[in-house]
Structure 1
Amino acid sequence: MEELELSRSARAVWAKSTNGEGDWLPLWRHMDDAADVAAWLFDHWLASSVVRLLAAEFGGDVVAARCAVMFLAGAHDVGKATPAFAVQDTGLAQRMRELGLYMPTEKRDLPDRNLAHHTVTGHHLLIGWLVDKGWRKSSARTWGIVLGSHHGVPLDSDSENTPTFFPCLYGTGTWETVQRELLERVAVRSGAAERLDQWRELKLSAAFQVLVTGLVIVSDWIASNEDLLPFLSGELPEVHEEPRRVSRALEELRLPGAWRPSGGPDSVAELFRTRFQLPDDAQPRPVQHAACELARTASEPGLIIVEAPMGEGKTEAALAASEIMAARWGLGGLLVALPTQATSDAMFDRVVDWLDAMGAEDQQVGGAVTLSHGKARFNRLFQGLVRQGRRPSQVGSDEERHRTSHAVVAHSWLSGRKKSQLANFMVGTIDQLLFAGLKSRHLMLRHLGLAGKVVVLDEVHAYDVYMNSYLTKVLTWLGAYRVPVLALSATLPADRRRALLEAYQQGREYGSGGASGQEPAAIPDEVDGDPGYPLLSWSDGNRVDTKHVGPSGRRTEVALDSLGGGVDEDLDALVSLLRDSLSDGGCAVVVRNTVGRVLETARRLEREFPGEITVAHSRFITADRMRKDSELLDRFGAPDRAVRRPQRHIVVASQVIEQSLDVDFDLLVTDLAPVDLVLQRMGRLHRHQRGVEQRDRPAKLRSARAYLAGVDLTQGPPALEEAAARHIYGTYWLLRSAAVLQPRLGGEVVLPEDIATLVQRAYGPDQVEPADWQEVVSDAWKKWQESSEERECRARDFQVAAPTKPGKAIIGWISANVGEADDGSQGQGQVRDGAPSLEVILLQHDETGNWFTPEWLSQGTGKLPVPREETPADDLAQVMASCSLRLPLAFSNAEAEEELWQATPVAWEDSPLIYRLPVLLVDQHGWARIADRQIRYTPDTGLEVYDSAN
């Protein structure tokens, strides 16, 4: 590497001001460090798929891509070589003045400094330097924007148009000479200097600009860590190369490298046997085999949509296909996104088991894993991996890894909202993926984390219009990054299937390296309508195709009937049904569409079946919800876990039961819902084989039976349960569901054969309802259309733009952003429709006014005294945080929030674990009032809200 001298003036420019020992960091040193860190990340940390993506901008030249990344990382802080920045440190600024770099002695003498943040000045200095070398400004802007974005927000048009009018902020004379010196040094050190003439006509894609900005941010953060890269001593340290400085720092950081799987055994059966601990004679189901074969034969990464019945092993198919695709195309990790925290927790265990099985085969798995949702800190497995990650041997040699209990750890540096998405393996709620479409600070880091992973979207049918708007936008960017995506669903409406494929293909056209030059292939007609079931749909390059996969042989005939008894007054009919059906025992689940109906039903059934009722819904504190989920799996899960299945029991649940848990019941009563969700609930019937021909089930329940409630089908059109129709699903989709299910009453629904047919009919364009329903259905359709258009418009307010044609700088990419994306309820409100619900900490008080954690908590965490005049210790705050509870939307108002915050001790604001949560104080029997409404909380029934008159 050519040794470049710097003038004394250039050596005096500072990047980090004086520390307590009097040491400081010259700008040249920091620029060298950032460039060298970026080079190391490019060589050792980036997935090879991302390296290939960046190299595509340079005709596939990996060396050129590395030079460009190193150059931009080294140049990132050149904007600090300006009076606007340097004036901030009195002593270091004076030394610079003595060497010819004039600036005022006081910051107040530069009143417009706010217009010249060093990201802004760096952006303009690089553009000017490149233009002086013969570049067109439009091309130079696509490079300069990386410098302008490295604090997490790209410049907008206003920032772009102002600064050069303020030479006193940028500096003239010696300042200009120093700025050129520093940029020339970076160009020569990185190898960019000899390539600048070749690059001047390049049209950098938006994908390149976003990903390299993310890489520069990471490089800057590491290079700014004084513990890893110490400051220098002396007034004017000599310029010299330190080849081991950065390598020593990164050895200490022990940042995990990319996952590099082998792809597993050639035999799909052997792959499944080794990864999922199956018996030697087990064979993958047809859909699993087809997904893996598609992963092995596709010509390039694309979107694969897997539609198969509940319990068919879609998750295992996705994990196996992910390993194959990662090995083929050099992906460095995996993201699994799910609808809820509960599904995420369950999936996290499965993913870690899969990685452990891979590690047992002596594959190179060692890397970082994260569970990403607002309650991740309460997941025991994840917290164990966090503790493992703090050990010195966190990601060391093979011998060190074999001494740990798992193949992966939760790396301590890759924690927090800004860096967790950079972990190799990530399991989290769908919000974590949707945030990639939200205008928010440091969005480039989310995209960098996604670009090197295989992405698995589970339960993709579970998202509404608002969330789907974000999902299609994110899929467009994933297409631009050539990220393989597996979308899993029991079944999808044809228009939704088409929308996902079109979004991915749109991004592919404007990905890294420019548009493909091909017109996107038309989506074939087979994607629409009823192309068969189970079904694979996929994109492969410019082509989109579908394939009907043979059934596995699993088949459940569900006898379907109506519960009767009216819409809101069906409890007598329910009791009569359950008494008869469960007379010889059995396990039933009653699914209601609202928590209010869950609680009302549970109260009545508890009187009729005392001690045989379990309640499950979303209004439990975190600790209780996790306990109840575990108890449900212990009682009603797979036979190898539910070894003590109750002789007779009834679970009364909200929608949490349809997605969150692998549970198995003998009898289902469900409120009417959109047909795909009704089918999903039916998937909880006879989910597991219990004895030969179900002989372990009561004689009356050896055939699966389901009953529709929450609808009066004796009327035409049917009467609907008001809350579900108005606030949850909408009248139109409930009527369409009723129309396709009504002809099956008194007969049966066969799973999986009938799933696709029912869904496509309910969501398709044809009239399915009787003629005398038509007027009501047409009116409901118009209202739904208006609501959908309004919600989609609202969703677009904070969405990033789709990738543009190469050559356009990402100026203003996240203008008017929402700030930092947040894992909590406020952040979820950014990518989910409606106002975010208020989250509180539930505590108890006794008659003397003492506060304590709920007395029913287990393992020594219950009835712990809670201080009000001082900040709770972290251990206690962790227990308090596990008592967090999301209130109903009725309390998402200023009056309720003010009342709760008034009761919250000010001293709690200093606790990082609970500072954002107000307190909800209940008495020893669980009673309290919020905004003049009475509430009660118990660990068995959760939160109940009573009318204000009570």
Structure 2
Amino acid sequence: MKGSVDNFLWAKKKEHDGNMYWLSLRQHLEDTKNVAGLLWEHWLGNGQKKLINDSLDDNSKGKGKNLIEFLAAVHDIGKATPYFQTMKGYMYSPELDLNLLNKLEKIFENITKFNESKPNSLKFKHDIAGQTLLCSYGVKDDISSIIGGHHGKPVDEKSEYVGKEKSQCSSYFQTENTNSKNYKTWDETQKLIFQWALDVSGFSCVDNLPSVKMQGQIILSGLLIMADWIASNELYFPLFNIYDSNSNVDNRVENGFEKWKKATVWESSECFDFSELYRQRFGFDPKIFQLTLAEKISETTSPGIVIVEAPPGEGKTEAALIVAEQLAYKLGRNGIFFGLPTQATSNGIFPRIRKWLESVNNDREGLKDEISLRLVHSKAHLNEDFLDLCKNVNIIDTNDGKVFVNEWFSGRKKAILDDFVVGTVDQFLMLALKQRHLALRHLGFSKKVVIIDEVHAYDAYMSKYLLEAIKWMGSYNVPVIILSATLSEKRREKIVQNYMMGTGRKISDISYIKDDLKDCPYPLITYNDNEKVYQVSEFEQKCIKSVNVETLLEEDLLSKLKVLLCNGGVVGIIVNTVKRAQYFAEQLSNEFGEDLIEVLHSSFISTERVEKENRLMSMIGKGRTRPNKKIVVGTQVIEQSLDIDFDVMISDLAPMDLLIQRMGRLHRHDIERVNSHKDAKFYVLGTSNDFKFEEGSSYIYGNYLLARTQYFLPKKINVPSDISNLIQKTYKFESERDNFKKSTLKDEDIFLDTQLEDRVFEFKKDHMLKLKELEKKAEKYRVLVSTRESKYHEISLNGWIKNPVQSNMDEISYACVRDTEESVEVIALKKVGNGYGLFNELEDISDKINDFEIAKKIASNSLKLPTSLTKFYNIESTIGELEDYNLTNLKNWEESVLLNGLLGIIFDDNNEFKFKDVKLIYDKKYGLKLERM
């Protein structure tokens, strides 16, 4: 840009310690343009660059870097307006504002009085103003909408800005008189910025700007936001004193970018000896299916979706990581996302990913050798493994070459931009959720290989978001690896179809997929190469174990346990609700003594739950000295993340795939057992000859799935050979979901007397209706991939996330993609004297919360309230009463960075807490209970 006006337009300003600082608009645009170019060269991967370049019109191929530099150079053109230039600073400083206005007065007459004529009701936004100006210069919607959305949300309708330069003329030009000097000067200034942006990015005129497809627009939008945030960070790009006329900008961008950039881009290399790679990464030789998988992927030219189905303990995680290295090499990706269903499973996998990544890092000879790894879920800051890694946070660039945590990527909106991320699957599902700054999430995932584990755990509602997110990955050519121990044929088909549709193929063109995908025994590998889909299942069917299955009446449980334990053994009992686990645990404690019983479920204080998990691992984990006798009673948390082994298992009736998951903890390890437990035995509670199931199980899973599971449950299951057949039988009805009318038909594969057939028929109708309702509900906030053919410019970011989720709270976003009832967590404290302490440390710490370590310990003691207190009709009153309680009893928490915003409750000497009409009782043995008063 040329001209004296450069010296007067501001982009940022603030007063600090009595000094006044500012950053000129010209300098900020230059900073952002330079950062964008450096991100292209030193942060984007080859796959992302190809995605952007391929989204450009044929005459503009290879101009992706030019385009992002143009966008960055012009992104704040809307600040070159009298409305913005007369705005007060964020931290109001009248002297600073007046000082800058006086400078503008030299060029724009009476600008200091412009505020007096501003319409109070006018909501002028500089990002939309920038979009408006670009449109007036002839820039098409595909590019101008990126400018309009660079603060996180594109406009909903084009009518929001088209023509507004007329109705809001004075906001853009200080006056409505087109012949006035001020009008002409503002107009010339804005056009000068626009032309400068074209020139410095390699475009001489607006007609030379590329046309961009939707996928390119989204990734460019995310990249622009990222560049703007980096260039706006004063640690990297400081403001200048307004009285310093000789501000030094030499090496400004190099110094600023170097401070920000602490990790070098990881680029995978091609491998030819997979046996050696397994030994190097994990210290063991690969199994046949792992080796076969790696060899098949190595033969592909254009892979994308890979599904690995194998029983628990067969090494799916290691197989996925090796394939991730292969796909990263083939498709130019530079990191991974590993997503799991729960925080517990994410925490469990994190150390394994770190160990693999350290091995990967050791291969990078001659490089700067930093790789950034991050754990992402709402309690990641309390995870000890992640906190240990955070000790390697590099602030002054003295990293010692290990895997570390890059501080800039902290925060809910930036975390997914980091290179290597482990977290809950919500992070992936939210790719399809309408929310601000969604383009950043898409940018982050477009850089990675995506691994999603335990896909069988996702219900119909979550699956809608899952499938749409997979389709988005297909549209970006991002490789996706799906892991499951138990996947139905229909769900497998849907996953492959959605990925292929994302690549641009019409559903009619990929109808062959249904015929190509067969019902094969596990282990099973499914993958694509271009449009062709392959399956591999011809492995030697080694029977890992043969499980004898028997039904067990609840009233016979005690007598059966006495028989099972007469010669010793470890029995696991998994039930479907916390209340049921507590009931059984108390009954068994009365019969066998408390020392023999271990209890584990979600209603324990989080720190105590971790202690209980560690205790179980120390007793019945791999390679441990096992107790002679032990009964472990718990809920689904037992099956999710613990590598423990039971001699015998008893389970509530649950859907077939979950029963098989639970069997994964039965005879899991190769150990010597007493003769009475040589054979694996699995007992099922809650079956019913008339299909009248236990209330809690029925509520969670539905009668229809329970009925089909009970009907097809055999007396013996050979693992893995029988798994696929049992899953396909149980979920055969899913093929009817695409045509709801068919679901009115009775099941042809179930043969019962007329009365029971009629009952199952009613179960089925209710189940199908609920699925439809869930899928319809999922539509509200879902962002769909456009697969229709269209000309350039016709599809833009305008309206892309219309009516988004309004809340910035992670918990609300998670609830939107999970269809879960809202939950409330509190910090559990224990009365100590006149103050309070923690349950496991009875020391009064009420006056020590300003100690960071103590505040962190307090925050770690979270406890989920019973769901009966957080229903839609009473959750607000519950939170309201707890907030009132905290204002009275824990008001000083507002002074703590870690505790501010958290809700605490103080249990009395009897471990009771009374509020509303209930009494909460915490028992270290059995967990949290609720009694009505």
TM-score, length-scaled by structure 2: 0.91
Q: Give the match's secondary structure for 1:369.
A: strand
Distance 1:18 1:652, change over 3 A: closer
Partner of 1:563: 552
Q: Give the match's secondary structure for 2:297.
A: helix
Question: What is the alpha-carbon distance in structure 2 between the residues aligned to residue 468 and residue 549 of structure 1?
Answer: 29
Partner of 2:156: 156
Partner of 1:881: 859
Offset from partner CA, 1:869-890 (integer Å, 9 cap, x none): x964432221111111111211
Q: Which amino acid aligns with 2:862?
A: S
Q: Give the match's secondary structure for 1:686.
A: coil
Note the C-alpha offset of 1:916. Answer: 2.8
Among 531, 534, 540, the residue aligned to 1:545: 534
Among 866, 876, 882, the residue aligned to 2:846: 866
Note the C-alpha offset of 1:864. Answer: 4.1
Among 268, 287, 290, the residue aligned to 2:274: 268
Note the C-alpha offset of 1:419. Answer: 1.1
Partner of 1:658: 639
Where in structure 2 are the equivalents of 1:133-282 lying within 5 Å? 140-157=140-157, 159-161=160-162, 163-164=164-165, 165-171=167-173, 172-193=183-204, 196-199=206-209, 202=211, 204-233=212-241, 244-263=251-270, 265-278=271-284, 282=285
Note the C-alpha offset of 1:895. Answer: 3.0
Q: Which runs of 5+ in 2 are unaligned?
A: 88-96, 174-182, 734-746
Partner of 1:693: none
Q: Which amino acid aligns with 2:21?
A: D
Distance 1:899 1:18, change over 3 A: closer
Question: What is the alpha-carbon distance in structure 1 between the residues aligned to residue 298 and residue 111 of structure 2?
Answer: 63
Alpha carbons 1:127, 1:144 under 8 Å: kept: yes
Question: What is the alpha-carbon distance in structure 1 between the residues aligned to residue 395 and residue 186 of structure 2?
Answer: 47
Note the C-alpha offset of 1:517. Answer: 9.6
**Structure 1 position 810 matched with structure 2 position 797:** yes
Question: What is the alpha-carbon distance in structure 2 between the residues aligned to residue 6 and residue 311 of structure 1?
Answer: 66
Note the C-alpha offset of 1:216. Answer: 0.9
Q: Which amino acid aligns with 1:719?
A: K
Offset from partner CA, 1:11-60 (integer Å, 9 cap, x none): 32111125443332110110000000000010001111111111112359
Note the C-alpha offset of 1:730. Answer: 0.7
Question: What is the alpha-carbon distance in structure 1 between the residues aligned to residue 61 and residue 393 of structure 2?
Answer: 33
Partner of 2:461: 466
Q: Which amino acid aligns with 2:418?
A: A
Q: Which amino acid aligns with 2:691?
A: P
Partner of 2:2: 6
Where in structure 2 are the equivalents of 1:321-332 lying within 5 Å? 321-332=323-334
Note the C-alpha offset of 1:145. Answer: 1.1
Question: What is the alpha-carbon distance in structure 2 between the residues aligned to residue 541 and residue 634 of structure 1?
Answer: 48
Offset from partner CA, 1:69-124 (integer Å, 9 cap, x none): 11101111111001111111333233223213664625352126743200110111
Alpha carbons 2:548, 2:717 under 8 Å: kept: yes
Among 539, 551, 556, the residue aligned to 1:573: 556
Among 742, 750, 753, the residue aligned to 2:721: 753
Q: Give the match's secondary structure for 1:768.
A: coil
Partner of 1:70: 69
Among 127, 135, 142, the residue aligned to 1:127: 135
TM-score, length-scaled by structure 1: 0.89
Partner of 2:447: 452
Q: Which runs of 5+ in 1 are unaligned?
A: 402-406, 510-515, 565-569, 691-695
**Structure 1 position 612 matched with structure 2 position 580:** no
Partner of 1:291: 293
Question: What is the alpha-carbon distance in structure 1 between the residues aligned to residue 846 and residue 815 of structure 2?
Answer: 30
Alpha carbons 2:361, 2:371 under 8 Å: kept: no
Among 413, 420, 423, the residue aligned to 1:428: 423
Q: Which amino acid aligns with 2:281?
A: R
Offset from partner CA, 1:848-879 (integer Å, 9 cap, x none): 5422222x15xxxx534224xx9644322211
Alpha carbons 1:521, 1:544 under 8 Å: kept: no
Question: What is the alpha-carbon distance in structure 2 between the residues aligned to residue 654 and residue 945 of structure 1?
Answer: 18
Partner of 1:732: 704
Question: What is the alpha-carbon distance in structure 2 between the residues aligned to residue 233 and residue 849 of structure 1?
Answer: 52
Note the C-alpha offset of 1:588. Answer: 1.1
Point out the more displaced range, 300-309 or 627-636: 627-636
Note the C-alpha offset of 1:623. Answer: 1.0
Partner of 2:579: 596
Question: What is the alpha-carbon distance in structure 1 between the residues aligned to residue 61 and residue 796 of structure 2?
Answer: 22
Question: What is the alpha-carbon distance in structure 1 between the residues aligned to residue 574 and residue 59 of structure 2?
Answer: 55
Offset from partner CA, 1:635-656 (integer Å, 9 cap, x none): 22222xxx22222111111011
Note the C-alpha offset of 1:527. Answer: 5.4
Question: What is the alpha-carbon distance in structure 1 between the residues aligned to residue 625 and residue 748 of structure 2?
Answer: 48
**Structure 1 position 383 matched with structure 2 position 387:** yes
Q: Which amino acid aligns with 2:589?
A: E
Note the C-alpha offset of 1:501. Answer: 1.4
Note the C-alpha offset of 1:490. Answer: 0.8
Distance 1:287 1:160, change over 3 A: farther
Distance 1:233 1:843, change over 3 A: closer
Question: What is the alpha-carbon distance in structure 2 between the residues aligned to residue 150 and residue 312 of structure 1?
Answer: 46
Among 807, 817, 821, the residue aligned to 1:831: 817
Q: Give the match's secondary structure for 1:193.
A: coil
Offset from partner CA, 1:351-397 (integer Å, 9 cap, x none): 001111223344566221110111111211211111211453465xx
Q: Which amino acid aligns with 2:520?
A: P
Partner of 2:485: 490
Alpha carbons 1:84, 1:169 under 8 Å: kept: yes
Where in structure 2 are the equivalents of 1:661-676 lying within 5 Å? 661-676=642-657
Point out the more displaced range, 371-380 or 355-364: 355-364
Alpha carbons 2:827, 2:903 under 8 Å: kept: yes
**Structure 1 position 478 matched with structure 2 position 438:** no
Note the C-alpha offset of 1:233. Answer: 4.5
Partner of 1:909: 894
**Structure 1 position 442 matched with structure 2 position 423:** no
Alpha carbons 2:262, 2:394 under 8 Å: kept: no
Question: What is the alpha-carbon distance in structure 1 between the residues aligned to residue 592 and residue 696 of structure 2?
Answer: 27
Question: What is the alpha-carbon distance in structure 1 between the residues aligned to residue 398 and residue 612 of structure 2?
Answer: 33
Alpha carbons 2:645, 2:668 under 8 Å: kept: yes
Note the C-alpha offset of 1:434. Answer: 1.2
Partner of 1:334: 336
Point out the more displaced range, 12-21 or 443-452: 12-21
**Structure 1 position 705 matched with structure 2 position 681:** yes
Alpha carbons 1:47, 1:330 under 8 Å: kept: yes
Partner of 2:741: none
Where in structure 2 are the equivalents of 1:677-696 lying within 5 Å? 677-690=658-671, 696=672
Question: What is the alpha-carbon distance in structure 1 between the residues aligned to residue 245 and residue 527 of structure 2?
Answer: 59
Note the C-alpha offset of 1:554. Answer: 4.7
Question: What is the alpha-carbon distance in structure 2 between the residues aligned to residue 286 and residue 884 of structure 1?
Answer: 44
Percent of aligned pairs with the same amino acid: 33
Partner of 1:920: 905
Partner of 1:780: 763
Distance 1:67 1:243, change over 3 A: farther
Partner of 2:835: 850
Alpha carbons 2:805, 2:813 under 8 Å: kept: no
Q: Which amino acid aligns with 1:771?
A: L
Among 29, 32, 48, the residue aligned to 1:31: 29
**Structure 1 position 929 matched with structure 2 position 914:** yes
Q: Which amino acid aligns with 2:881?
A: E
Q: Which amino acid aligns with 1:124?
A: T
Q: Which amino acid aligns with 2:30?
A: D
Q: Which amino acid aligns with 2:377?
A: H
Alpha carbons 2:269, 2:329 under 8 Å: kept: yes
Distance 1:612 1:935, change over 3 A: same
Note the C-alpha offset of 1:254. Answer: 3.0
Where in structure 2 are the equivalents of 1:781-800 lying within 5 Å? 781-800=764-783
Note the C-alpha offset of 1:63. Answer: 4.7
Question: What is the alpha-carbon distance in structure 2 between the residues aligned to residue 38 and residue 300 of structure 1?
Answer: 29
